[in-house]
Structures are given as C-alpha cells and as structure tokens.
Structure 1
Amino acid sequence: MTHVPALPVRRGLIFVSAAGIAWGTGGAVGDFLRRAGHLGPVAVTFWRFVIGAALLLAVAFLGRTASPRRLAAPRSWGMPLALGVAMAVSQVTYFAAIAETGVALATMIAMGANPLFVTAGSRLLFGERPGRAVKAGVAAAVAGLAMLAGGPGEFSAAGVGYAVLSGATYAAVTLLSGVERGRSAPGQTMAWSFAAGSVCLLPLALADGVVPSGGDSGAAALSLAYLGAVPTALAYGLFFAGLGVVSGTTAAVVVLLEPLVAAFIGVLLLGEHLTALQLAGGALLMAAVYRLGRAELATGPAEEGGGRG
C-alpha cells in the first residue's frame, strides 16, 4: 500500500474549495467548445480525459525520485476502469445536458441529484440508515429538482434526464472513491482512471468527430488545454488530496461552490435566464444539500467523497 502523507485540515479545505471553483468553470468551457469548435459531448470529454491523464502522469513522473511507486501501474485495473467508465458517462451526460438546458440549470440539477443517489447508495451498500433530518433534506431536494425542471424557457426533458444521469453516475464515483481512499496517491489513481476512461471513449469520439472544426481553431485548442489542465487535472488532484483529511460530507457542502460559479457564468456572462420558480428551486436544492451535509456531520465523519466536475 502506498503511504499518502496527511495534509493539515485547513489546507485540505482550501484544496476542496479550489476544486469546486475550478469545476464551476468547466461547463462554460465545454459549452464554448460545442458552439465554437463543433465538438460533441463525447469528444469534449475524451480530450478532457486525455489531457488530464497526461498532466497527472507527468507530475507523477517528475516526483518519482521522492516516491518511486508514484508512477507504478495499478496492481489491479478494476478500480481505475470502474472509476474511468463512471466519470466518462457522468461527463458526457453533463455536457449533453448543457447543450439542452444551458450551463446554470444543468449544473444545479446534476449537483442536486448527486447527493440523493449517494444517500441511497450508502443505504444499500453500507447499511447506513438515514434519520429524520436526512429524510427531510432528501424530500426538499426532490422538491427543488421538480421546481428547477418545471420552469418554462430552456426546459428540456432530455436535458433534465441527462443532468440527473450525470449526478447518478458521479454518485458511483463518490462511493467508489471512498473505497479507494488511502490505498494509493490521489493523483495516481485519477491519472489511471482518466487513461482508462479515454480508452473507452476513443471509438465513440472518433465516430462523433474528435477534431475541432470551427473557425477559431486556436481558441478551441486553448480551451481544450484549459479544460484538461484546470477543471480536470488540477481540480481532481486537489479534491482527492483534500479528501484525505476532510470528511466527505464537509467536502459535499464545500463544493457547492461549483453550481454557484456555473450559475454566475451562465447568467451573467453567457446570457442564460432562470425564472423565479427555477431560482427558488435552486435555493431550496442548495439548502437541502447543505442540510444533508449538516445531518451527516452530526452523526460522524462519512467514508465517501462528494462533489463532481
């Protein structure tokens, strides 16, 4: 087993916060690549994984002197493959939801659905029995999702479905990451997971069109580099490093920075619009997720991680 040095808790919280902010910019970049680069959700996710894996493996290679095992291939590919496939489905459906509903709405629905599935998965897999506070939080979150999906304008049943599926598959990543915690260096685990996911996505990406075909190829290339470097390699590396000292429920609350940043970008910079009903649903949803985190913290640290990108 690889020894992973513990971080101070304060630094872990900073890492998780920075990851949430970085993730919040990823949806807008993916939407730009769809419009300006004519890249579909599969192609965007493929490049995100390839660049993210390359950067994380490069960091591990540069640090091999201090820890020779940092670049070692996993003894079993089961966990990296499972994480890679789950993250691939989550990201593809997330970008598909953005194409249908916009950045702000897609991110809020995906982020709101994620803790619901985590709660259900924890009950089925680990036997955790939610108390009254948790049940009330789940009910409020469901109501918030209904309000978000029920507004006029950019509503799309397909888009809402993609966003919910994105939250569900990232819940699988959340639960699996709790099993993997402490067994290997966070960056190494994510590097091999991104590599496995990119291999799975390659045939679909080739069929979908993997080369940007818009008029501004330079801007598309810079956007892909940013997407792979900041909301992927940096954000996931920081997040899973922070989970070494920050409980999963605390992390799930902190990374609510992601939908807030995405909503800010979508409404103020991309000209998206949310109705009063949808804004109220978003507020109820965020309050419910926060309440879930508080309820879980009151019963002790959780073993699972939280968040997405």
Structure 2
Amino acid sequence: MTPVSARRGAFYVSVAATAWGTGGAAGSLLFQSGGLGPVGVSLWRYLLGAAFLLALTRLTGGRLDRFSPRVVVVGLGMAVYQTAYFASIAESGVAVATVVTMGATPVLTALGGRILLRERLGRVGLTALAAALAGLALLTGEAAVEGGGGLAGIAFALLSAAGYAGVTVFSRRHQDDPQGTAVGGFLVGAICLMPFALAEGVLPELNLPSVALLLYLGAVPTALAYGLFFRALTALDATTVSVISLVEAAGAAVLGVVLFGERLSPLAWGGCALLSAAVVVLTARAGSTAGQA
C-alpha cells in the first residue's frame, strides 16, 4: 500500500465529507421514492458500496488482503451508526440529524483518541475544534428550532455519533488494509442489518428515481467516501479526521434547505461559516505538518 501524506490525507477526508453530505439527502429522497425505511436504505447502501469497491479494485489491478477479524468490529459499528443516522433523519430531518451527529462525533473521538491512542491536537487543533463546535452549536440550535427536531431524532443522532467515533478510533489503531476494512465493514454491516431489513421491508420500489438514488448512494457517499476515509486514517490522527469531516454538516444543512425546504436563520448560516473556517484551519495545519516532515 502506497503511504499517504498528511496533506493528501486531509484532502481525502475533505472529499469524503463532501460526498457524505449528500448521503443524507439521498437517503431522505429514497424514503419517498423507494418505499424503504432507515434499515433498508442502510442495507442497500452497504451492499452496493461493497460491490462498487470490489469492482474498482478489480479494474485497477489492486487486491484486497485476507479479511481480518477486526472488520467484524468495524462492521458492527457501521451498522449501528448508519442506521441510527437514517432513523434520526426520519424523525427530525436532514439538517438536525447531521449537525447533531457530527457535533457529538469529534468530542467523542477526541476523548477516545486521547485515552486509547494518546493523541493530542495541540493549541491550533483545540482552537479549531472549539470553533467548529461553536459553529455547530449555532447551526444545531437554529436547525432544531426551525426543523422541529424531537428527542427521538436527537437520541438516534447521538447513538450514530458514538458508533462513528468508535469506528474512527478503532480504524486509526488498526490501519493495515484500508480498502479491505471498508469492504469487510460493508459486508459485516449488511449481514447485521439483514434480519431487521427483512422485517421492515427490503425490496425498493423499482422506478428510475429510486434506482438512480441507490446507485448514487452506493457509489459516491459510500464506496468513494469510505475508501478515502480509511486511507486518510493511515496519515492523520483520529480527532483531526473527525473535525475535518464536519464539512459534511454544512453541506447537508445546505442541501436540506435547497431540496427539502428546511430553513436556516442568519445565525445558522454564521455557524456554517465558522465551522467551515475551522475545517480550513485544520486542513492547512495538516498540510503544514506534511511540509515540515
């Protein structure tokens, strides 16, 4: 596996987060056009994501290492946080689900990284984290008021954040085969979700919008985004990755406004700007670190 520099790792996370920001909107549209619930959407997302990554590996002449038992842990975490995320969307809307999930994630990741991995952000990193959380506080508060987010939706979002943070810290510690981790995690996650998806309803309505959305969800916010995410974890500490990933929150909030009529106030837009500035600082910091190496 070719080593990834810190600068390239920051770029990978930025692209992955941008792609993730469209995943919630695609899932929400699938609730309407595909007749699927949160578990069904998550199941198809993982199955198609695994298929796309395997096809890409074959086309590029790459290979996957033998699946490690560690992918079971990754797959369980992915099953929890992905389904909880879509459940939060169903309860509270795209904006609330995303900003609460992504707001809690870096805090939990920072705690896990500090306790389990002995990682430190330093003054610049801590300042950027504080600014990002301040931006998310503005965005979350306004989105919750405007979107009418309930306690159930927020609870699902916090559960999603815990699962996401766990996968991030665990994958940072075990970073030997990023692509194999992604594919294995997708397959294990799909196996975990299958019984619940069968009970909820696993077959989508076959129409052009639902098929297009499923293919997009599997290819871009899943195969592409997670492939880049696990590669980035070989170069950057877990907390930096999670904070840069917060660009997803701003993107998803904007899509919630554009596609679903979810309104954000001037304070919420200010929160988006503050969050984006924090991500830019951390990305530049990663590049500066790479330049000194």
Structure 1 distance, partners of 2:7, 2:119, is 28
From 3, 7, 31, the equivalent of 2:4 is 7
Is the Cα–Cα contact under 8 Å of residues 109 and 242 in structure 2 kept in the other structure? no
1:45 aligns with 2:42: yes
The aligned counterpart of 1:229 is 219
1:259 Cα deviation from its structure 2 partner: 1.2
Aligned counterpart in structure 1 of residue 241 of structure 2, from 251, 264, 267? 251
Supply the distance in 1 between the matched residues of 2:53 and 2:280 (Cα, whole angstroms): 34
2:53 to 37, 43, 56: 56
Identity %: 44
How far did residue 20 of structure 1 move?
A: 1.3
AA of the residue aligned to 2:249? P
The DSSP-based 3-state class of the residue aligned with 2:66 is: coil
Report the residue type matching 1:163 in the other structure. Answer: A
Q: 1:58-73 alignment to 2 at 5 Å?
A: 58-63=55-60, 70-73=63-66
1:2-32 deviation per Cα after TM superposition (whole angstroms, max 9, x unaligned): xx21135444333222111111110000000
Instruction: Confirm or deny that 1:193 pairs with 2:185.
Output: yes
**Offset of 1:136 from its aligned partner?**
11
Q: Measure, in 1, the Cα distance between the counterparts of 2:272 and 2:142.
A: 6
Q: Mapping of 1:269-288 within 5 angstroms?
A: 269-275=259-265, 286=275
- Pairing partner for 1:157 from 148, 151, 156: 151
Tell me which moved more, 46-55 or 127-136. Answer: 127-136
Deviation at 1:203, TM superposition (A): 0.9
Measured against aligned partners, the alpha-carbon deviations of 1:50-72 in whole angstroms (never above 9, x if no partner) come to 011112122333455xx5xx234
What is the SS of the residue equivalent to 1:39? coil
| Pairs within 5 Å for 1:1-309 | 4-63=1-60, 70-74=63-67, 76-77=68-69, 79-126=70-117, 134=126, 141=133, 144=137, 147=141, 151=145, 153-181=147-175, 183-184=176-177, 186-213=178-205, 217-275=207-265, 286=275
Instruction: Return the letter of the residue paired with 1:73.
Output: R
Note the alpha carbon deviations across 1:203-245, whole angstroms, 9 max, x for none.
Answer: 11111101113xx622111111110011000111122223333
Greater fraction of residues in helix: 2
For residues 131 and 113 of structure 1, the distance between their equivalents in structure 2, rounded to whole angstroms, comes to 20
| TM-score normalised per structure 2 | 0.83
SS of residue matched to 1:211:
coil
Q: Which residue of 2 aligns with 1:304?
A: none
Q: Name the CA distance, whole Å, in 2 between partners of 1:104 and 1:256.
A: 13
Q: Hey, what's the Cα distance between the residues in 2 that align with 1:268 and 1:153?
A: 14
Decide which moves more: 92-101 or 139-148.
139-148
Deviation at 1:96, TM superposition (A): 1.0
Other-structure match for 1:306: none
State how many pairs are aligned.
Answer: 284
Say whether the 8 Å CA contact 1:141–1:288 is kept in structure 2: no
AA partner of residue 273 (structure 1): R
TM-score, normalised by the number of residues in structure 1? 0.79
- Over residues 28-54 of structure 1, what are the superposed CA-to-partner deviations in whole Å (9 max), with x where a residue is unaligned? 000000112121000000000001111
Structure 2 CA distance for aligned equivalents of residues 131 and 10 of structure 1: 18
One-letter amino acid of the counterpart of residue 56, structure 2:
V
Name the amino acid aligned to 1:222. A
Moved more, 89-98 or 267-276: 267-276
Distance 2:77 2:245 in 1: 19
Counterparts in 2 of 1:53 and 1:130: CA distance versus 1, 3 Å: closer
SS state of the match for residue 25, structure 2? helix
Indicate if the aligned counterparts of 2:75 and 2:186 stay in contact, CA closer than 8 A: yes
Q: Kindly indicate whether the alpha-carbon contact (under 8 Å) linking 2:96 and 2:147 is maintained by their aligned counterparts in 1.
A: no
RMSD: 3.2
* Kept after mapping to 2: 8 A contact 1:147/1:277: no
Q: Which runs of 5+ in 1 are unaligned?
A: 302-309
Aligned-pair distance for 1:91? Answer: 0.7
Inter-CA distance 241–131: structure 2 relative to 1 (3 Å threshold): closer
